[in-house]
């Protein structure tokens, strides 16, 4: 079984310009997930990109590069489109889709996810969340009105009585070629969850995130 990973890293970024290669503790951001993949049981680590600078950093880091067409690297492009483009151009049996904004992802997380594929058709990483009373707000005729989300204030549950849930952290998704081509989704069928801690699940989207992550590395 050939296992490969792909990191989707386009050049454009709205929140942080050049985010995927911004310096983080002496390394480009994408280096961390490349390193995690290369230390794992993955056979090949690929970068799918439309950007020359990202491609060079990937090659210098020992990764393979698939050039992505511009129409698959826009602000509105879906990751699944790029995954299918990757499947059309690279041979694999199992695909590990890694997002470059998760620098605390470690090789053993990937290996644990791959082990789960013995009993699942797909696996994704997530963290466990305890129940919290959530609300939303809406404007009705100029008046701001708040509503509880999926719970009744008249029957407020105790936190320990509510089942814990899992939140996708976006660090990685694992699927088979067959499942990807059939469903055209990053996961499908009998899907397993690889639990990571909330700290390990940290994602970089803003400059504040960058400052916080420096304290965790």
Which residues belong to the active site?
156
Q: How far apart are CA 55 and CA 47, in angstroms?
A: 7
Q: How far apart are CA 114 and CA 172, in angstroms?
A: 11
Q: How far apart are CA 39 and CA 47, in angstroms?
A: 16
Contacts of residue 208, defined as CB under 8 A and 6 or more positions apart, other chains included, come to none
> Tokens for 93?
């049996």
> Tokens for 158?
């105790």
What angle, rounded to 10 degrees, do the helices at 52-60 and 29-39 form? Answer: 40
- Radius of gyration, alpha carbons of the chain: 19
Q: Please answer whether residues 215 and 133 qualify as being in contact, where contact means their C-beta atoms are separated by less than 8 angstroms.
A: no
Q: Which residues pair with 175 in a beta bridge?
A: 95, 122
Alpha-helical (H) ranges within 78-202 are 79-89, 107-116, 177-183
CA dihedral over 9, 15, 17, 19, signed as positive or negative: negative
């Amino acid at each position: 079984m050939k296992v490969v990973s792909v990191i989707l890293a386009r050049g454009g970024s709205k929140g942080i310009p050049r985010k995927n290669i911004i310096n983080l503790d002496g390394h480009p951001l994408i280096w961390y997930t490349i390193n995690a993949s290369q230390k794992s049981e993955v056979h090949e680590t690929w970068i799918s990109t439309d950007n020359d600078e990202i491609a060079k950093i990937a090659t210098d880091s020992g990764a393979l590069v698939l050039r992505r067409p511009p129409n698959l690297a826009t602000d509105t492009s879906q990751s699944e489109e790029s995954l299918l483009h990757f499947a059309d151009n690279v041979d694999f049996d199992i695909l590990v889709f890694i997002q470059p904004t998760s620098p605390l992802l470690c090789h053993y997380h990937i290996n644990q996810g791959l082990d789960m594929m013995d009993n699942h058709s797909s696996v994704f990483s997530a963290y466990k969340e305890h129940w919290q009373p959530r609300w939303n707000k809406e404007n009705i005729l100029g008046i701001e009105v708040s509503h509880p989300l999926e719970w009744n204030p008249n029957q407020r549950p105790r936190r320990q009585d509510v089942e814990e849930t899992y939140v996708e952290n976006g660090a990685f998704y694992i699927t088979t070629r067959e499942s990807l081509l059939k469903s055209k989704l990053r996961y499908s069928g009998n899907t397993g969850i690889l639990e990571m801690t909330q700290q390990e699940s940290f994602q970089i989207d803003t400059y504040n995130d960058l400052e916080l992550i420096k304290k965790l590395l």
